[in-house]
Amino acid sequence: MKKVLNRVEDVVDEALEGFQAAFPTYLRRVEGTHVLTRARPKRSGLVGLVSGGGSGHEPAHGGYVGYGMLDAAVAGEVFTSPTPDQVLAGIRAADRGAGVLLIIKNYTGDVMNFEIAQEMAQADGIRVDAVVVDDDVAVDGSLYTTGRRGIAGTVFVHKAAGAAAEQGASLDEVRDAARAAIAHVRSMGFALAPCTVPAAGDPTFTLGEAEMELGIGIHGEPGTERRSVATADDLANMILGRLSEDLALAPGSRLAAMVNGMGATPLLELAVLARRTGQWAREAGHQMDVMWLGEFMTSLEMAGASLTLMRLDDRLAMLIAAPADTPALRQGVVHD
Amino acid sequence: MTSDQFRRIWFRFGELVTEHRDELNRLDAAIGDADHGTNLARGLAKVAADLGADGASTHLAGSCRQVGMALLSTVGGASGALWGSALLRAAGALPEAEACDTATAVAAARQVVDAMQSRGHAELGDKTMIDVWRPAVALLEASVAEGMSGPQAAVAVAERAVTLADATAPLVARRGRASYLGARSAGHVDPGSVSTALFWRAVADTVAHS
């Protein structure tokens, strides 16, 4: 294993220190915790937003703490949900008196740990609501499984709910905005090479020179299917077809898209996927309001990408286009 | 069960998990994310530190609560939430005393299973640690009801737990991260079931040799 590390067991702690060092005007670490919160908290009376999960998905989630998005991000060990006491510290940091919304990715561990923290915070008298993001179309969503995973589409949910909260929406309204975003967002990813969890030291799976994994999550786990590598256009067509079918997109739909690198795929190659995503939308007669291109929700140094589509109505389009100023996402006008 | 035995169960469990850490990580790599051994070993190191600290509780309920809080705040993932919730619930079944009778210890084990199921919603056959926990506790209850001593019953349960863990291999996971693999999860043993078997071995090692 070759990695830029000091001691393996310090990687999360030192990375959080590094985020704070790099973005002191945005981020402050809640002392003694794995929580990053806004250096300048939003004014009181606004709903607070907390998200988080295992580390290894950078810039998620600390990179989205700031104006128009999150109020606190809670980091667990690499690919491991944070513990309830940490999430509780995040809730306390985010609470500005109008309640707190938790944005949870649908993984067994994340859901349980955030749920326990929610119960603890409610016992302390803080109003806390929660939404669970499950945008991954690769896994079967039947009642007999854990349900679909939350992957890159989660960042669109942060954006939509964060904008609503910044505009003064109530906790119920922010939760509804998040739910609307979740209902309209779908994603799917593929891997050309696995990643290595620092504490484990070995790659999470092995792939032949001409093989790829389709339907991967964001934890280095294998996908739902192994197949021969395809061209960028074929991959995009296949994934966009799945997303479009799952969203039951009618021609002329209004869309936001995200081309997300998994950690080790150059922007050059991601841009080739973005090209086809734009073409595909035009051919299908859709209106693409916005496309995000880059690394938004990674899986350490996994090679590969995910594509996300979100169907927009007027309100979601406004929320996605609203200003944001965070370490990893800056758009729109300068705030006060 | 004495509170000294209770603490030594956790020290022994910690030793066993550390010894098998790489194996547990390897099993997890096949159908999860390769960190089960690392996470559990980290949590049990904290448990050992807390139980051995100055001012640590000397009665069963207090020790059990310490174990639950330590696991809840250091393991992370589903394992931490499940083990932590379970031990906090079990603490409620144990007395604030230095010892309890076998029936009380068995009732606490039943609370572990119930708490895990109400937090995690897993059923038998979902390829989770419930596949070991539930039949293991049922066997414990039956053995004690038939008149077996606590230590004898613990040894029997520890032996059965190994078989139960192995029996998760052909199952298709319906809960937890392995469930995303669908049919590809079959053919691999569930790592949480293997660590649960290690827990029962720690119980047997401790009570059979006291």
Strands (E), A67-223: 72-78, 100-105, 128-133, 185-193, 211-214
Given the structure tokens 């794995």, which residue do they identify? A34
Q: Residue B33: its chain A contacts at CB < 8 A? A: 79-80, 197, 204, 219-221
- Phi, psi dihedral angles at A29 (to 5 degrees): -90, 130
What class does CATH assign to A14-183? alpha beta
DSSP state of A125: T
Q: Name the band, by pLDDT with cuts 50, 70 and 90, for residue A217.
A: confident
Distance of residue A217 Cα from the nearest chain B Cα, in angstroms: 9
**pLDDT, position A141:** 61
Q: Name the band, by pLDDT with cuts 50, 70 and 90, for residue A204.
A: confident
Angle ∠(B129,A80,A21) on CA atoms, nearest 5: 165
| Amino acid in position A67 | Y
Single out the residue of B133, B132, B130 nearest to residue B108, CA to CA.
B133
Beta carbons of B177 and A108 less than 8 Å apart: yes
* N-to-C CA span, chain B: 10
**pLDDT, position A221:** 75
Q: Hey, is B67 helix, strand or coil? A: helix
Q: State the average pLDDT over residues B76-105.
A: 95
pLDDT tens digits for range A275-305? 999 999 999 999 999 999 999 999 999 999 9
Q: Is it true that the peptide bond before A61 is cis, omega within 30 degrees of 0?
A: yes
Q: Is A51 on the interface with B (CB under 8 A)?
A: no
Q: Is B82 on the interface with A (CB under 8 A)?
A: yes
pLDDT tens digits for range B104-132? 999 999 999 999 999 999 999 999 999 99
Query: Are B112 and B90 spatial neighbours (Cβ–Cβ below 8 Å)?
Result: yes
Query: Are A196 and A212 spatial neighbours (Cβ–Cβ below 8 Å)?
Result: no
| Token pair for A290 | 């916005």
**pLDDT, position A206:** 87
Q: Name the band, by pLDDT with cuts 50, 70 and 90, for residue B176.
A: confident
Task: Answer whether CATH 3.30.1180.20 is correct for domain A185-312.
Answer: yes
| Token pair for A20 | 């704070």
**pLDDT, position A334:** 55
Q: Is B123 on the interface with A (CB under 8 A)?
A: no
**pLDDT, position A106:** 94
* Cα A78 to Cα A234: distance, rounded to the nearest angstrom: 32
Nearest residue on chain A to B127, judged by CA atoms? Answer: A145
Q: How many CB pairs under 8 A join A and B?
A: 114
Q: Name the band, by pLDDT with cuts 50, 70 and 90, for residue A219.
A: confident
Does residue A333 surpass a pLDDT of 70? no
pLDDT tens digits for range A91-146? 999 999 999 999 999 998 999 999 999 999 999 999 999 999 999 999 866 545 67
Nearest residue on chain A to B37, judged by CA atoms? Answer: A200
Strands (E), chain A: 27-29, 35-38, 48-55, 72-78, 100-105, 128-133, 185-193, 211-214, 225-228, 254-261, 287-294, 303-311, 324-325, 330-331
pLDDT tens digits for range A20-78? 999 999 999 999 999 999 999 999 999 999 999 999 999 999 999 999 999 999 999 99
Pairing verdict, β A254-261 and A287-294: parallel
Query: Are A78 and A199 spatial neighbours (Cβ–Cβ below 8 Å)?
Result: yes
- Phi, psi dihedral angles at A108 (to 5 degrees): -45, -50
Q: State the average pLDDT over residues A72-93.
A: 96
Residue A279 neighbours by CB distance under 10 Å: 14
How many domains does chain B divide into? 1
Beta carbons of A79 and B176 less than 8 Å apart: no
DSSP labels, A259-289: EEE-BSS-HHHHHHHHHHHHHHHHHTT-EEE
Q: Hey, is A86 helix, strand or coil? A: helix
Q: State the average pLDDT over residues A308-327.
A: 98
| Token pair for B17 | 């998990």
**pLDDT, position A144:** 53
Return the bridge partners of A105, or none: A133
A residues 200-239 lying closer than 8 A (beta carbon) to B? 200, 202, 204-205, 217, 219-222, 224
* Cα A130 to Cα A122: distance, rounded to the nearest angstrom: 12
pLDDT tens digits for range A139-159? 866 545 678 999 999 999 999
As to burial, measured by CB atoms within 10 angstroms (0-12 exposed, 13-18 middle, 19+ buried), residue A182 is buried
Q: Is B179 on the interface with A (CB under 8 A)?
A: yes
**pLDDT, position B149:** 95
Q: Is it true that the peptide bond before A323 is cis, omega within 30 degrees of 0?
A: no
* Lowest mean pLDDT across A172-176, B104-108, B142-146, B178-182: B178-182
> Is A219 designated active site?
yes
**pLDDT, position A170:** 98
* Cα B139 to Cα A207: distance, rounded to the nearest angstrom: 43
**Residue B56 sits in a domain of what CATH number?**
1.25.40.340
- Phi, psi dihedral angles at B133 (to 5 degrees): -55, -50
* Cα A201 to Cα A204: distance, rounded to the nearest angstrom: 9
CA distances from A105 to A81, A197, B145, B197 (A): 10, 20, 44, 30
Single out the residue of A242, A313, A315 nearest to residue A280, CA to CA.
A242
Does residue A336 surpass a pLDDT of 60? no
Domain ranges of chain A: 14-183, 185-312
Show the domain range for B156. Answer: 3-208
**pLDDT, position B111:** 97
Distance of residue B69 Cα from the nearest chain A Cα, in angstroms: 9
Query: CA-based Rg of chain A, rounded to a whole angstrom?
Result: 19
* Cα A73 to Cα B16: distance, rounded to the nearest angstrom: 34
pLDDT tens digits for range B15-53? 999 999 999 999 998 887 778 999 999 999 999 999 999
- Phi, psi dihedral angles at B52 (to 5 degrees): -95, -5
